[in-house]
Structure 1
Amino acid sequence: MTHTLLEGKKGLIVGIANEQSIAWGCARIMRDAGATLAVSYLNEKAKPFVQPLAERVEAPIFMPLDVRSEEQMQSLFQKIEKEWGRLDFLIHSIAFAPKADLHGRVVDSSVGGFTQAMDISCHSLMRLAKGAEPLMRDGGSILTMSYYGAQKVVSNYNMMGPVKAALESSVAYLAVELGPAKIRVNALSPGPIATRAASGLSDLDNLLSVAEGKSPLRHLIDLEDVGNLAAFLASDRARAITGGVHYVDCGYEVVD
């Protein structure tokens, strides 16, 4: 990764939980590419795990953000406006579903569990995009994280399949709505990685094994692979790319 790809860019990273987080892979690569980063953390319990990582990428803005809190979201964007006056890119890398609903059949999912999963995993992208829009005065890039289970049925992915499908559809609609302001919206669809979030899936080891064995490149991706693609899509070199779902999965999506 060139050290000047994101030189001078200001970006917000939402979703770092620990060193295994996809959001951390993005933050590390983007910082190496020259970006200045704002980093959020979920709550006080998460803060001790995220703060050392924020310090490693020299984030001048480090604030709490539970995406269900309108007050916290407003405070974060107000801080960015005060300190920077603009925002060039946003990484949305959060997803949640109650364990009982995630491990059960889709047909058995509860109203409350499905609503919560949609709110945190999908609608939060819309709320963050709305907050970022006035700060992206000269255009910008908004990126979110999806998964192959949005397109095809993946064993044990269960309720997150419909939720990620909604997220991918939202990317297309946001791209059209924000396009006139030169704001690009894209989704990355990484192959399976042993992250903290993925550990909530039952039979994760089998999912990883199948992906490694069936992908054309015969290996799994890592956080750096995702970060490299995110950095490119956030850069001016991707100025004509919007509204898409971009796979980084060693080619697994082309295999039946």
Structure 2
Amino acid sequence: MSGSETPPAVMDFLQMSGKTYLVLGVANKKSVAYAIARIIEQSGGTVIYAVRSQARRESTAKLLRDRDVRVCDVEHQDQIDALANQLAEEGVELAGMVHSIAFADYPDGIRPFHETTRQQFLQAVDISAYSLINLANALKGRFVTDASVVTIGISTTRMASESYGFMAPIKAALESSLAFLTKSFSRFSRVRFNAVAAGLLKTSASAGIPGYVDSYLYAEQVIPRKEAVKTEEVAQTAAFLLSPRSSGITAQSLVVDAGMSINYFDASVVGAVTDSQLG
């Protein structure tokens, strides 16, 4: 190539151009779902947004100006069915879906796990985990044969972090469902189901969890680079999983934690703890 030729800088690496994706879970510009949707659009794809309520649709009206925004509260079967019917009537074919939905009710703040009520647990399972199964089933006729479904998990479901309340077992159920969805869908398609298992993020939703900010600051000290995971880093991984570039990956959770899980015994952190105890 001579110096006068234009390099192929605009290659569609993610191969999303001309394809349509459903993105659920945008709340504001800090949302992981929004960051993923931006990458899809920048790659030439079309995004259909689904938000949980008319109020959320109105609050994101400026952010999602000129976008196709639907309302779908996943707690209500009729709304899921209505969304599926709308897309069917319009002949929409989905190359992928982003499930970035989670909810837990902490009316009295974070309490010991054994005090979790039945209502709290079942509601969290319904919204945060079962909704993926329910949406996949309702939309199975809308997915193209090799579509990709990506959900957002957490970097570990085995650490009993008090600042995350009872959500880790809920996310474990979400993660486990990936294998079963992949297997059951394989009877009639090649749809893939994966998760991005994200480390602690600075989002509006996480900021409302009691004790989360302190855990976030601690994570920055444990992470080798001394800088927390960015929402954009999670979104980039999700976009890769949505794309044909990851066609050999399914029923997996890709951990994006900037190495936090390898560095819990960092000498500086251990020293700070032991010094405080000795002092």
What TM-score, normalized to structure 1? Answer: 0.92
SS at match of 2:251: coil
In the TM superposition, what are the counterparts of 1:37-76 in structure 2 within 5 Å?
37-55=47-65, 58-59=66-67, 61-76=68-83
- CA displacement 1:36-79 (0-9 Å, x = unmatched): 01001211221222222322xx53x3111100122211221222
Query: Does 2:254 match 1:214?
Result: no
**Structure 2 Cα separation of the partners of residues 230 and 217 of structure 1:** 22
Selected match of 1:79 from 79, 83, 86: 86
- The corresponding residue for 2:252 is 244
In the TM superposition, what are the counterparts of 1:17-36 in structure 2 within 5 Å?
17-36=27-46
CA contact (8 A) 2:157 2:168 kept: yes
Between Structure 1 and Structure 2, how many residues are aligned?
A: 253
Task: Tell me which moved more, 244-253 or 233-242.
Answer: 244-253
Query: Does 2:136 match 1:136?
Result: no
**Structure 2 Cα separation of the partners of residues 192 and 211 of structure 1:** 7
- The corresponding residue for 2:174 is 167
Q: Which runs of 5+ in 2 are unaligned?
A: 1-8, 265-279
**Structure 2 Cα separation of the partners of residues 75 and 53 of structure 1:** 24
SS at match of 1:138: strand
Per-residue deviation, 1:165: 0.9
SS at match of 1:66: coil
- The corresponding residue for 2:164 is 157
Task: Tell me which moved more, 16-25 or 151-160.
Answer: 151-160
- CA displacement 1:71-117 (0-9 Å, x = unmatched): 21122122223334311101111111111376111100111111101
Task: Tell me which moved more, 86-95 or 38-47.
Answer: 38-47
**Structure 1 Cα separation of the partners of residues 10 and 234 of structure 2:** 15
**Structure 2 Cα separation of the partners of residues 177 and 254 of structure 1:** 34
- The corresponding residue for 1:253 is 261
- The corresponding residue for 1:229 is 237
- CA displacement 1:112-150 (0-9 Å, x = unmatched): 111101100110010111122211232211111111341
Q: Which runs of 5+ in 1 are unaligned?
A: none
- The corresponding residue for 2:22 is 12
**Structure 1 Cα separation of the partners of residues 220 and 238 of structure 2:** 22
- The corresponding residue for 1:115 is 122
**Structure 1 Cα separation of the partners of residues 247 and 115 of structure 2:** 43
Query: Percent of counterpart pairs with the same letter?
Result: 30
SS at match of 2:64: helix
SS at match of 1:47: helix
CA contact (8 A) 1:89 1:234 kept: yes
> Runs of 4+ in structure 1 displaced over 6 angstroms?
none
**Structure 2 Cα separation of the partners of residues 133 and 253 of structure 1:** 36
Task: Tell me which moved more, 163-172 or 83-92.
Answer: 83-92
CA 19–255 in structure 1, closer or farther in 2 if over 3 Å, else same: same
**Structure 2 Cα separation of the partners of residues 85 and 39 of structure 1:** 13
**Structure 2 Cα separation of the partners of residues 172 and 220 of structure 1:** 29
**Structure 2 Cα separation of the partners of residues 2 and 134 of structure 1:** 32
User: Which letter maps to 1:185?
Assistant: F
Q: Which has the higher helix share?
A: 1
User: Which letter maps to 2:85?
Assistant: Q
User: Which letter maps to 1:31?
Assistant: E
CA contact (8 A) 1:15 1:93 kept: yes
What TM-score, normalized to structure 2? Answer: 0.85
